[in-house]
Amino acid sequence: MVIPFSTEQFLEVFKTYNLGIWPMQIIAYAIGLAAIIFAIRRTVFSDRLVSGLLAFLWIWTGIAYHIVFFSTINRIAYIFGGLFIVQGILFLIFGVFLPKVWYRFRLNFPSIVGVVFLLFAMVVYPVIGSLVGHGYPNSPWFGLTPCPLTIFTFGLLLWTDKKVPFYMYIIPFLWSLIGVLAAIKLGIFEDVGLLVAGVAGTIILLIRDRRRRKKAVDEQKFLM
């Protein structure tokens, strides 16, 4: 995979982006915390609110980061931006307007892994970045750049209460493969967590939902 820009150019984009969007970084953390709170303390509108917040972050990242800033050094960023916008629209359609995604933290393996992903995206990721020389503003920021956002998204999807349609996480999964390849070549080692979240998150969701589907079929047969 040929990277059409240097590590220095890549980090310079983050610097320009972070300085240009301040104080969105604070708002992004507030949105992340709000999404977690609404997923735990369920209300009539909590599921729609969580999906709506995720939709905002994906659309923002697609437009502001990919299309406006990242495209200055990589023309493929327009395609990436389009995919992120599509993911945001999916959260709007199937999470807000025609809800098929329900969030509820339970004390089980998928939810616990989800907690790990959430903490990694919000806390561990920036700490690792600072330790390896990618401190603010030359760093991917939570909620507003692709990799931390993807990890965070998988964390919340692992909290879902019912089967999640595969099309809701195909783009995050693909980004976990695309993003980590580039990041490793550029020395953004904190993005190794992106691959773990994408692959492990997808496998856990598929296995969990398959078991739920089988259980529902078995219960239906029992009632018949």
Q: Report the candidate in 103, 111, 90 with the shortest Cα–Cα distance to residue 168.
A: 90
Q: Report the candidate in 70, 73, 31 with the shortest Cα–Cα distance to residue 49.
A: 31
CA-based angle 38:140:27, to the nearest 5? 40
User: What are the structure tokens assigned to 18, written together?
Assistant: 């972070």
pLDDT score at 42: 82
pLDDT score at 1: 65
Q: What is the largest CA-CA distance in the chain?
A: 65
Amino acid at 216: A
List, run by run, the mean pLDDT of 10-residue segments along the chain (224 residues): 87 97 98 97 92 99 99 97 99 95 94 98 96 91 97 98 94 94 84 95 96 64 56
pLDDT score at 2: 78
Terminal C-alpha separation, the chain:
55
Task: Give the DSSP per-residue string, the chain.
Answer: ---SS-HHHHHHHHHHHHHHHTTHHHHHHHHHHHHHHHHHS--TTHHHHHHHHHHHHHHHIIIIIIIIIGGGT-TTHHHHHHHHHHHHHHHIIIIIIS----B---SSHHHHHHHHHHHIIIIIHHHHHHHTT--TTSSPPTTTSHHHHHHHHHHHHTTBSSPPPGGGTHHHHHHHHHHHHHHHHHT-GGGHHHHHHHHHHHHHHHHHHHHHHHHHHHHHHHH-
CA distances from 211 to 101, 162, 173 (A): 17, 11, 21
